Amino acid sequence: MSFNVENVTDRLVEWIKNYFRDNASPTTKAVIGISGGKDSSVTAALCVKALGKERVIGVLMPQGEQPDISYSRSLVDILGIQSYTVNIGETVSSLMSELGSHIELSDQARVNTPARIRMTVLYAIAACVGGRVVNTCNLSEDWVGYSTKYGDSAGDLSPLSHLTVTEVLRIGDHLGLPYEIVHKVPSDGLCGKSDEDNLGFTYAMLDSYIRGEDDLSDHPEIRERIDTLHRNNLHKLRLMPSFEPDTQNAKN
């Protein structure tokens, strides 16, 4: 599949402009969680091009000490956007301690709860400044469920959710963002492993499979793992199921 990075970037910028024109006031700000990785950096840069730096707010949310937070600070400085740093460390610790006094904590709770607290912070700041929360997830991660429901998968608009990691990297390079930020090895910052280590395959393999460029027939075990992850995590991408009563028949 041909990917025209200049064309897609221009369309993305226009799409963001149109969203804010149609769904917000002329002063509404874009509120973005800045992790210092490719997705939040590209998203923030796109919003700056679409809205101007005065309408973009970056939020840094370390959990205690974050060794790579310098990437986030560098990105904010490069874009010239307003930023807030909200350390969620004590909040996470307090909540997990309280929960732990009632129930045995699972690994899933320990991993996903901080992401949901971060999203709470973003919406709180958006409420204070009159903003919209911009989701930073990409298609590759969404495809295999590498996101937290009501955590980083939430937001009011999602510029990158139909773009693979490979495509996001190309947009980042096209925008002229620093190589060390765009190509920083993605990691959840919790287990000491990269995203690809945790997934068991590379994003390049996943992206080629998603785009139909490689059916992974030479790697059937990886294809099965991707398909299984995709099936098991579709609930994160779909609207919440809701019961619809047959009100017409109920009257009879």
Percent of the chain with pLDDT over 70: 95
Q: Which of 49-63, 89-103, 178-192, 206-220 has the lowest mean pLDDT?
A: 178-192
The answer to the question of residue 200 being in a domain is no
Q: What band does 93 get if pLDDT is binned at 50, 70 and 90?
A: very high
For residue 180, the domain's CATH number is: 3.40.50.620
The answer to the question of residue 224 being in a domain is no
Q: Which of 87-101, 120-134, 180-194 has the lowest mean pLDDT?
A: 180-194
Query: What's the pLDDT tens digit per position in 219-242?
Result: 999 999 999 999 999 999 999 999
Tokens 């959840």, residue? 188
Q: What band does 2 get if pLDDT is binned at 50, 70 and 90?
A: confident
Of 121, 159, 136, nearest in space to 41 by CA: 136
The answer to the question of residue 169 being in a domain is yes
Query: What's the pLDDT tens digit per position in 40-73?
Result: 999 999 999 999 999 999 999 999 998 889 999 9
* Number of domains, the chain: 1
The answer to the question of residue 81 being in a domain is yes
pLDDT at 80: 98
Q: What band does 190 get if pLDDT is binned at 50, 70 and 90?
A: low
- What's the CA gap between 120 and 88, in Å, rounded? 11
The answer to the question of residue 133 being in a domain is yes
The answer to the question of residue 108 being in a domain is yes
- What's the CA gap between 115 and 123, in Å, rounded? 13
- Those residues whose C-beta lies under 8 Å from the C-beta of residue 171, and which sit 6 or more positions away, are 5, 8, 9, 12, 42, 46, 163
The answer to the question of residue 149 being in a domain is yes
In DSSP terms, 29 is beta-bridged to 131
- Quote the domain boundaries for residue 75: 5-192
Q: At what angle do helices 165-174 and 38-51 cross, to 10 degrees?
A: 50
The answer to the question of residue 203 being in a domain is no
- What's the CA gap between 48 and 13, in Å, rounded? 9
pLDDT average, residue stretch 66-90: 95
Which two structure tokens, joined as six digits, stand for 39?
């997705």
Q: What band does 78 get if pLDDT is binned at 50, 70 and 90?
A: very high
pLDDT at 252: 58
Average model confidence (pLDDT) across the chain? 94
